[in-house]
Amino acid sequence: MEIEKSALNNVLISETQIRDRIQELGKQISQDYKNQELVLVCVLRGATLFFADLVREISLPLTFEFLQTSSYNDSTEPSKNIEFIRAGDNYIKHKHVLIIEDIIDTGQTLKFLVDHLQSLNPRTIKICTLLDKPSRRQFSVSVDYIGFEIPNVFVIGYGLDYSQMYRNLPYIAVLEATSENTSQPSTNV
């Protein structure tokens, strides 16, 4: 497929780099939460592959929760609509919560999620993201675990999508803009 070839040429983070970093993160999290029980909240859908690999590197008693937000819809520009598919019950009350996210861009999604989860009275909330694009930040969030800091490029693969595609690439690649002189792809690429 065309995109597979061009994505291959634009590998930003390889499978090996991802695997090694996840092992480090897993060890760190296992140490930091030693003797504590964790609730891991996976932000659907982009964080699923990261989540699945990370949980196997954490040696602690823990439970899984999944939340879905939609901040990009089918484009590369964030919209203001973020909705929960699951909201408001006791699933994190008095518990240590670690949010697992694929990427922090403007910070809007995470800020919204943290504000919501905070209202459910967890004992603590921390954030673990595979990727961080600090240069795009508009909403202040404190991130506790970061896999990789990346520049202001649109990336796909390892869970991350462009119009719901390319999530299955085993590495992270930069999506090339197809129109001239654009650093980010337009919505009708």
Question: Would you please indicate which residues are annotated as catalytic (active-site) residues?
Answer: 105
The answer to whether the CB of 138 falls within 8 A of the CB of 108 is yes
72 binds, among ligand IMP, Mg ion, none (CB under 5 to 8 A by kind): ligand IMP
Which one of 23-31, 59-67, 120-128, 154-162 is the stretch in contact with ligand IMP (CB under 6 A)?
154-162
Cis check: omega of the bond before 19, within 30 degrees of 0 = no
Site string (160-179) toward ligand IMP, x via CB under 6 A: xx------------------
106 binds, among Mg ion, ligand IMP, none (CB under 5 to 8 A by kind): ligand IMP
User: Which is closer to ligand IMP, CB of 60 or CB of 103?
Assistant: 103
Encoded amino acid at 60, one letter: L
User: Which is closer to ligand IMP, CB of 30 or CB of 148?
Assistant: 148
What residue number has its CB nearest to Mg ion?
46
The answer to whether the CB of 172 falls within 8 A of the CB of 131 is yes
Find the helix or strand (DSSP H, E) in which 149 lies. strand 145-149
Distances from the Cα of 71 to the Cαs of 23, 79, 123, in angstroms? 29, 5, 27
The least distance separating ligand IMP from the CB of residue 94, rounded to whole angstroms, comes to 27
- What one-character DSSP code corresponds to residue 127? E
108 binds, among ligand IMP, Mg ion, none (CB under 5 to 8 A by kind): ligand IMP
The answer to whether the CB of 187 falls within 8 A of the CB of 62 is no
The answer to whether the CB of 170 falls within 8 A of the CB of 61 is no
53 binds, among ligand IMP, Mg ion, none (CB under 5 to 8 A by kind): none
Residues near ligand IMP (CB under 6 A): 46, 71-72, 78, 101-110, 154-155, 160-161
